[in-house]
Amino acid sequence: MTIQEINKAYNRIIGSLDEKELKNAFDFLQSLIAGIREYSFQDRLNELQDTYKYMLRYRIEGAKDPMQDQIYNNLIASSYEFADIVKHKALSVDSPLSYYSRRRMMQKELTNYDQLHKVLRNASLVKIEPPTGTITEQQQIESATILLFNKIWTSNPLNKEEIASIRNLLNDQELPFIIGSQIVSALMLGLQAAFDKEKLLLLFDAANLQEDEIRYRALIGILLTLYTYRKRTALYPQIADRLAALSEGFPNFTKAIRTITLRFILARETEKITRKLQDEIIPEMIKLGPKISQKINLKDINPELLGNEMNPEWQNMLSNSSLGKKMEEFSELQQEGADVMHSTFVHLKHFPFFRELGNWFMPFTTEHSAFGSQLSKNQTEKDMLDSMTLAAFMCNSDKYSLYFSMMQLPDQARQMMMGQFGSQASEMIQQTKEELISKRGKLEIISGQYIQDLYRFFKLYPGHLDFDDIFTSALDFHNLPILQPYVSDEESLTTIAEYYLRKNYFLDALTIYNRLSDANQESDILFQKIGYCKQMNGDIQGALEAYLHADLINPDSKWVIRRIAGCYRTLKQPEEALKYYHRYEAFNPDDLSIQICIGHCHLELKNYNEALKYYFKVDYLDNKSTKAWRPIAWCSFLTGKYDQARNYYKKIMDNQPNTQDFLNAGHTEWALQNIKGALAFYKKAVEKESGDFLKFQEQFNQDIPDLLVAGIEEAEVPLMMDQLRYSLSDIF
């Protein structure tokens, strides 16, 4: 079997197990075993099948086994594990993926975890400067750390001795925190490649450590694993028990999950903001785009309808709340950190340092041997770089990129940069250091930086296509059944939903708002947001129902009233829309946009004279605006006021006319028996469509009933069209 066929077969097995279709899963396993000719697995498969058949037989016979659910879950879990074994065996020899190629390499490595632990411990304790030309203590630590990372990443499954050794490494407080951080990252990455319950339990161990960098990374790894294997992890009661225990010992556990969730939502914005920055950096690109005025098609006049603006009352509420301040803080981090730095450093990952996979997760240290002594010659330079790399808005891999980039600059260029600091540089640097160091232990900063590091790896690592990009998934941790006991409180759900809403992820926000509405049917704001999310996703009928519910609770919300009216118009119910536009009019009688909308409703109801009253009111009160001209002209034509229509079309002709304007002006001239004038306008309409006569004719044919009402004989219509064709033949 090819690698593609093996993966396809494995995915079918996992899909069947996810749906608890064990018979299908066993059949697919049988085919995979036969395909790779590994018949040594047959006995294990037969054992699983026999166990399942016995369980089914007892069930059919009506025997009630109190352990049946546990046996069933254990069977499914064992089937998952067996499928993994078969897959890894099939891919272990030939797969070119990084995981398997590195796995093959590490199988030849005889150094065990205890030996690596001894090397790391001895190297970290020895502070003697080695003679020139020998391996330094730092290099020993780095080499051992790389080896440790790769062993943990590719080891699957871990045996008891390995588990104990890794746990000892994590608990050794004499080791630098970088070691623990790399262990956690290796566990996380290994779990993304292949499930191993023991690796996940080790992450729980790490999440209980005192070092913030380690435990926050561990918590992120736990959440990612629970998300990736959401069906599978539910089969292990031990995982749920460990999660419950962690929730009691982890400071502000609910807040931590909430914060990490928000940071992953923020990561979705990276590419969007990168594009925005590029547009700002290169403004000439913006100038290339012509400013095209929005054209109004008079056969479908909808200048307002629903609109996209949020309820300003929400904005005020958010701005005055702690959530609003947090949103502002996150926005600042976004603008100054994650996305800006991504765009800056996206092309600065070519340094040899980044060829080693584990270095993408390495906490930043100025002591790394890759720097040598090149940056220690000038203390001012070193202080400046230290302060920059302590910055919360830069992730670790970007800090390494910054240093490596600085190392490539000529000495003179670096000195010129230093000169920009002035006489107060030292004081400013020290102050910045103290400020940033004080923030280092904060969850928001550490988790944010680590998630940015993950983003860089999955997007920029040269072999990133070998890995399933976690950032293509929703990562909606709050929707995982196993996590809901910890993030189902109103504050958490509301916070996450508001963030989704602000970032325009309306379906995600709607899912949460619907959950909140199950327990709260009396919040008009909540149903406003449900309606808004449904509206923005194109579910106008659903939006209308939510807005109507909100209106029942609070009939004084102008924003809701206007939304209801817009929904009815969109649903082609202008009569119902009118009721709500008039309600809004009572609050804001001078709102000209509402007057326009009322006019449009009357137009759609063919109450043309009534529509004209409102259009004229707008034109009179805002004589500098042109937005009422088109509907006045058209309604004038429909009511037989052809001279009036002509006057308004003359005004329109001096104000960037579109195809529809030329077409309607032609109708008006024809109704006034000005055949030549009508032909001239029709000709301009075709020219406006770049000579596409068929497109013009399609629009023209829609208006034939109105032309007949205006007194145009039906027999004259084809003659006019042929005359137009002849006049156009000289041009096109």
pLDDT, position 336: 38
Selected residue with higher pLDDT from 130 and 3: 3
Please name which of 579, 563, 577 lies closest in space to residue 531, comparing C-alpha atoms. 563
Residue 374 token pair: 């090149």
What type of residue is 138? Q
Please name which of 85, 101, 40 lies closest in space to residue 194, comparing C-alpha atoms. 85
pLDDT at 514 > cutoff 90: yes
> Per mean pLDDT, which range of 242-256, 312-326, 618-632 is the poorest?
312-326
> Per mean pLDDT, which range of 234-248, 267-281, 371-385, 619-633 is the poorest?
371-385
Percentage of the chain lying above the pLDDT 70 cut: 83
pLDDT at 298 > cutoff 60: no
pTM: 0.82
Are 664 and 298 a contacting pair, CB within 8 Å?
Answer: yes
Which residues, at least 6 apart from 433, have a Cβ–Cβ distance to it below 8 Å? 386, 387, 390
Give the model confidence (pLDDT) of 21-39 as tens digits: 999 999 999 999 999 998 8
> Per mean pLDDT, which range of 201-210, 559-568, 614-623 is the poorest?
614-623
pLDDT, position 255: 93
Tell me the CB-side half-sphere exposure of residue 290, using CA atoms within 13 A. Answer: 3
pLDDT band, residue 122 (cuts 50/70/90): confident
Across the chain, what does the average pLDDT equal?
A: 86
Angle at 564 (CA atoms; ends 561, 569), nearest 5 degrees: 130
Residue 92's SS3 state is: coil
pLDDT band, residue 321 (cuts 50/70/90): low
* Distance from the first to the final alpha carbon of the chain: 61
Q: What is the DSSP string of 272-319?
A: HHHHHHHHHH-HHHHHTS--PPPP--TTS--SSTT-SPPPHHHHHHHH
For the segment 203-226, the average pLDDT, to the nearest whole number, is 97
pLDDT, position 337: 39
pLDDT, position 425: 44
Residue 607 token pair: 């109450």
Alpha carbon 224 to chain centroid distance?
Answer: 15
Selected residue with higher pLDDT from 698 and 334: 698
Distance in angstroms (rounded) separating the CA atoms of residues 122 and 110: 19
DSSP state of 398: H
* Burial grade of 32 (CB within 10 A; 0-12, 13-18, 19 or more): buried
pLDDT, position 109: 87
What type of residue is 393? F
pLDDT band, residue 285 (cuts 50/70/90): very low
* Burial grade of 698 (CB within 10 A; 0-12, 13-18, 19 or more): exposed
Question: Mean pLDDT: which of 123-132, 432-441, 585-594 is highest?
Answer: 585-594
Give the model confidence (pLDDT) of 381-414 as tens digits: 666 666 666 677 788 999 999 888 888 877 776 6
Distance in angstroms (rounded) separating the CA atoms of residues 547 and 525: 10
For the segment 509-518, the average pLDDT, to the nearest whole number, is 96
Residue 375 token pair: 């940056």
Residue 493's SS3 state is: helix
pLDDT, position 100: 94
For the segment 347-352, the average pLDDT, to the nearest whole number, is 91
pLDDT band, residue 328 (cuts 50/70/90): low
Which residues, at least 6 apart from 447, have a Cβ–Cβ distance to it below 8 Å? 216, 219, 220, 256, 259, 260, 263
For the segment 244-270, the average pLDDT, to the nearest whole number, is 93
Percentage of the chain lying above the pLDDT 90 cut: 68
pLDDT, position 428: 45
Are 663 and 699 a contacting pair, CB within 8 Å?
Answer: yes
pLDDT, position 234: 93
Are 580 and 564 a contacting pair, CB within 8 Å?
Answer: yes
pLDDT band, residue 420 (cuts 50/70/90): low
* Residue that has been written with the tokens 């189902």 in this structure: 488
Residue 581 token pair: 């536009």
Counting every residue written for the chain, the total comes to: 732
Q: How would you write 197-227 as a 3-class SS string?
A: HHHHHHHHHHHCCCCHHHHHHHHHHHHHHHH
Are 13 and 41 a contacting pair, CB within 8 Å?
Answer: no
pLDDT at 301 > cutoff 90: no
Distance in angstroms (rounded) separating the CA atoms of residues 729 and 666: 19
Please compute Rg for the chain using Cα positions: 34
* Burial grade of 110 (CB within 10 A; 0-12, 13-18, 19 or more): exposed
Residue 148 main-chain phi, psi, to 5 deg: -60, -45
pLDDT, position 437: 46
Please name which of 214, 192, 340 lies closest in space to residue 266, comparing C-alpha atoms. 340
The beta-carbon contacts of 362-367 under 8 Å, at least 24 apart in sequence, are 362/178, 362/181, 362/182, 362/396, 362/397, 362/400, 363/177, 363/178, 363/181, 363/213, 363/396, 364/389, 364/396, 364/399, 364/400, 365/178, 366/403, 367/138
For the segment 174-183, the average pLDDT, to the nearest whole number, is 95
Please name which of 555, 561, 549, 547 lies closest in space to residue 597, comparing C-alpha atoms. 561
Residues 325, 345, 182, 108: what is their CA dihedral angle, to the nearest 10 degrees?
160
DSSP state of 235: G
pLDDT band, residue 89 (cuts 50/70/90): very high
pLDDT at 68 > cutoff 50: yes
Residue 491 token pair: 């504050």
Please name which of 303, 232, 300, 201 lies closest in space to residue 84, comparing C-alpha atoms. 232
Instruction: For the chain, count helices (H), then strands (E).
Output: 39, 0
User: What separation in angstroms does the CA of 128 have from each of 138, 143, 715?
Assistant: 11, 18, 106
For the segment 487-502, the average pLDDT, to the nearest whole number, is 94
